[in-house]
Amino acid sequence: MEAWRFFKKTLALVMKGSLAYYAWCFFLLAIVFIGLKFYTAQLDYGLIVTNMRDQVSWGLYIANFTYLVGVAAAAVLLVIPAYIYHFDPIKEIVVLGELFAASSIIMALMFVFVDIGRPDKFWHLLPFVGKLAFPDSLLAWDVIVLNGYLILNIYVPVYILVKSYYRKEPNIKAVVPVILLSIPWAVGIHTVTAFLYNGLAARPFWNASILAPRFLASAFCSGPAIIIIIFQVIRRISNVKIANEALFKIAELIAYAMFLNLFLMGAEIFKEFYSDTVHLAPLTYLYEGLHNHKALVPWIWASLSMNLAAFFIFLIPKTRRYLVTLNIGSLLIIVGVWIEKGLCFVLPGFIPDPLGEIYEYMPNMTETAVSMGIWALGLLIFTLFMKVAIPIEAGTFFHSKHETRNE
């Protein structure tokens, strides 16, 4: 049977690799193992082993979730410029982008899963079987759009890859509607995730209309920045040719997105600090510290500096078109946006809490280890995706009926 043969060959494909490949996989596996160890302890004792408490009831897990939804959204939105500017090779870019989006969504969902106190009751979230509160709860919306997005992003690359496996030219017409659907859907997942916070009147820091646009702007920075790095890794270790021009164009687009992101951030800062109402407290906590509690202050300023530096690197053609500075800029953005949209976004929603208490939160060992475990598992999944997808794309891994003809 071909399915069995495909499975066997896939297995052989992912089991065989260079020393660097083995080292990379085992490195990731080790981190996954450590994460799993901490996660089982968390299941045993409860979420008390984290630093989250009633005052700050979401922390590093939800911060990572928010960031990854943005990354997943942006990875697909890259398809638009790829078409407009005729990046070559377009098919490969679509496949890589969508598989990366799929991996990010899987990570995002895992972050929700570890944050939930009762994973044994997870089935309550299933429509019809459980009792999904659609359309009242934005979390219910998120469950639906994220899983839908995952399906879309698996469907397209699988279609293209299966066709290539059979050595047929994929009928683009068959997937174009799905690709076109996945573009507004990408905007949708990030908007819904923003609304999840945005709709809470109890939390003035999140209850600002600027939230969803800002989410999209910052996602357009971090997602493509990760893609720039990944494209370079892939073209180094495989035959996939991705032109420098494509990377430079992506960097240019990041510069515009970062401008928008910084502008929206400035607009928010102006409104809150100038009007100076009771709702200023979370922003004061974030940027200056509140009643001598300053845990986030160094983080937000570091993030702001990274984002600004990256903005100029990507704005100036000379630094944008030079791989070393391009990569420095990308790393600055990946970290800068992670801080801005992770902890520096989630925590001020809770600090001070609705009755004015300040509980300073920083993730502890458990949360760090579990989070790193999820990142490692996500990267491992993406690595395995690539290990199969690239040979298919390159035409070296194909249906057995072509075997004799080619040998």
Partner 1 sequence: MKMLSAGFLAGFVGVGTSCNHVIDEEFLQKHFLEMTDEEKQRVVRRLEEKYLREYGKTAHVSTGAAKPKTLWGYGLDLSRCIGCRRCVYACVRENNNSRYKPQLHWIRVIRLKKGNLINLENAEHYYNPETVPEEDFIYMPVQCQHCENPPCVKVCPVHATWKEPDGLVVVDYNWCIGCRYCIAACPYKGRVFNWTRPNIPKEELNPAMHYLGNRPRIKNVVDKCTFCIQRVRSGRYPACVEACPTGTRKFGNLLDKNSEIRYLIENKRVFRLKEDLNTEPKFYYFFSL
* Site residues (vs partner 1, CB under 8 A): 10-11, 14-15, 25, 29, 32, 36, 39-40, 43-48, 52-54, 57-58, 112, 115-122, 124-125, 130-133, 136-140, 143, 196-197, 199-203, 278, 281, 349-350, 352-357, 377, 380-381, 384
Cα–Cα distance measured from residue 143 to residue 192, given in angstroms and rounded to the nearest whole number: 10
Nearer to partner 1 by Cβ, of 11 and 323: the residue is 11
Element (H, E) at 310: helix 297-315
Minimum distance from CB of 353 to partner 1 (Å)?
Answer: 6
Minimum distance from CB of 400 to partner 1 (Å)?
Answer: 20
Q: Taking every pair of C-alpha atoms in the chain, what is the biggest distance, in angstroms?
A: 76
Minimum distance from CB of 356 to partner 1 (Å)?
Answer: 4
Cα–Cα distance measured from residue 114 to residue 119, given in angstroms and rounded to the nearest whole number: 8
Q: 3-class SS at 116?
A: coil
Residue pair 397/16 in contact (Cβ under 8 Å)? The answer is no
Residue pair 390/381 in contact (Cβ under 8 Å)? The answer is no
Minimum distance from CB of 372 to partner 1 (Å)?
Answer: 15
Cα–Cα distance measured from residue 389 to residue 157, given in angstroms and rounded to the nearest whole number: 9
Structure tokens at 270: 């102006």
Nearer to partner 1 by Cβ, of 54 and 407: the residue is 54
Minimum distance from CB of 55 to partner 1 (Å)?
Answer: 8
Cα–Cα distance list, 232 to 37, 184, 237 (Å): 33, 27, 9
Minimum distance from CB of 225 to partner 1 (Å)?
Answer: 27
Nearer to partner 1 by Cβ, of 32 and 160: the residue is 32
Residue 170: what are its φ and ψ, rounded to 5°?
A: -60, 135
Q: List, in order, residues 6 or more apart from 209 with CB less than 8 Å away.
A: 198
Which residue, 141, 154, 229, is CA-closest to 190? Answer: 141
Round the CA-based radius of gyration of the chain to a whole number and report it. Answer: 22
Nearer to partner 1 by Cβ, of 126 and 323: the residue is 126
Helices 138-165 and 90-115: crossing angle, nearest 10°? 140
Nearer to partner 1 by Cβ, of 29 and 394: the residue is 29
Minimum distance from CB of 287 to partner 1 (Å)?
Answer: 16
Nearer to partner 1 by Cβ, of 47 and 339: the residue is 47
What angle (nearest 5°) sits at the alpha carbon of residue 173, between those of residues 170 and 174? 70
Structure tokens at 292: 């001598």
Q: Which DSSP symbol is given to 293?
A: B
Nearer to partner 1 by Cβ, of 115 and 340: the residue is 115
Nearer to partner 1 by Cβ, of 46 and 317: the residue is 46
Minimum distance from CB of 10 to partner 1 (Å)?
Answer: 7
Minimum distance from CB of 142 to partner 1 (Å)?
Answer: 8
Which residue, 134, 219, 150, 217, is CA-closest to 185? Answer: 150
Nearer to partner 1 by Cβ, of 57 and 147: the residue is 57
Minimum distance from CB of 364 to partner 1 (Å)?
Answer: 13
Nearer to partner 1 by Cβ, of 117 and 395: the residue is 117
Residue pair 101/231 in contact (Cβ under 8 Å)? The answer is no
Residue 56, classified by CB atoms within 10 Å of its CB into exposed (0-12), middle (13-18) or buried (19+), is: buried
Cα–Cα distance measured from residue 350 to residue 51, given in angstroms and rounded to the nearest whole number: 14
